[in-house]
């Protein structure tokens, strides 16, 4: 089976959005547990109420300045995240944007594009995911082939074919 895809920057952005959500769901840290957050908020509330019982006067200008400081830091973190995401996006001169040719056979996945040629055995496919806009063949936790559904003649047939060839246990929609 052979297939040609013409990738746009939007294809990468859709994949990146999916990847961010997927990785956040799959790797939950200890401090993200509901019990930890409940205890932490209880301690913060206890300190807050203890502080306001000791002082006799609340200073709105001081509260405003302190709030502005924390909002400023939060804004900087958000803007730095957006900047980093933009810096990681593919450029028009790179190898992602443009035409890519794929050939699927018993040996594996043969891909070819502007300036590269690759072969990946089916054994390296970790999971196959189908979303409402694309299908992803994950070769690692954050590395995947992207197949936009809008460029496939029969997405269901392609999904079944890839699922059979990849022989992975994690086939999800």
Question: What is the per-residue pLDDT across 117-167, written as a single tens digit (0 to 9) for each?
Answer: 999 999 899 989 999 999 999 999 889 999 999 999 888 898 888 888 887
- CATH code of domain 2-11+94-172: 2.30.29
Give the length of the chain.
173
Beta bridge partners of 103: 2, 110
Does the pLDDT of residue 29 top 80, yes or no?
A: no
Locate 146 and state its tokens.
């992207």
d(CA 152, CA 144): 17
Locate 162 and state its tokens.
């890839």
Does the pLDDT of residue 76 top 60, yes or no?
A: yes
Beta bridge partners of 171: 128
Model-level pTM greater than 0.85?
no
Q: What are the extents of the domains in the chain?
A: 2-11+94-172, 23-88
Q: Cα-flanking dihedrals φ and ψ of residue 157, to 5°?
A: -65, -40
Check residues 42 and 51 and name the one with the higher pLDDT.
42
């Amino acid at each position: 089976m052979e297939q040609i895809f013409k990738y746009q920057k939007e294809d990468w952005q859709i994949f990146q959005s999916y990847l961010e959500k997927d990785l956040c769901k799959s790797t939950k840290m200890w401090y993200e547990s509901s019990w930890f957050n409940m205890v932490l908020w209880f301690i913060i509330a206890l300190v807050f109420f203890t502080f306001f019982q000791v002082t006799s006067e609340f200073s709105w200008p001081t509260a405003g300045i302190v709030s502005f400081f924390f909002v400023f830091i939060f804004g900087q973190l958000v803007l730095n995240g957006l900047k980093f995401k933009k810096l990681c996006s593919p450029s028009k001169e790179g190898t992602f944007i443009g035409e890519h040719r794929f050939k699927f056979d018993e040996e594996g996945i043969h891909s070819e594009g502007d300036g590269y040629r690759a072969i990946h055995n089916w054994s390296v496919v970790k999971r196959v995911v189908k979303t409402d806009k694309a299908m992803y063949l994950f070769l690692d936790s954050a590395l995947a082939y992207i197949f936009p559904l809008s460029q496939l003649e029969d997405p269901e047939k392609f999904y079944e074919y890839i699922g059979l060839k990849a022989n992975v246990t994690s086939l999800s929609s």
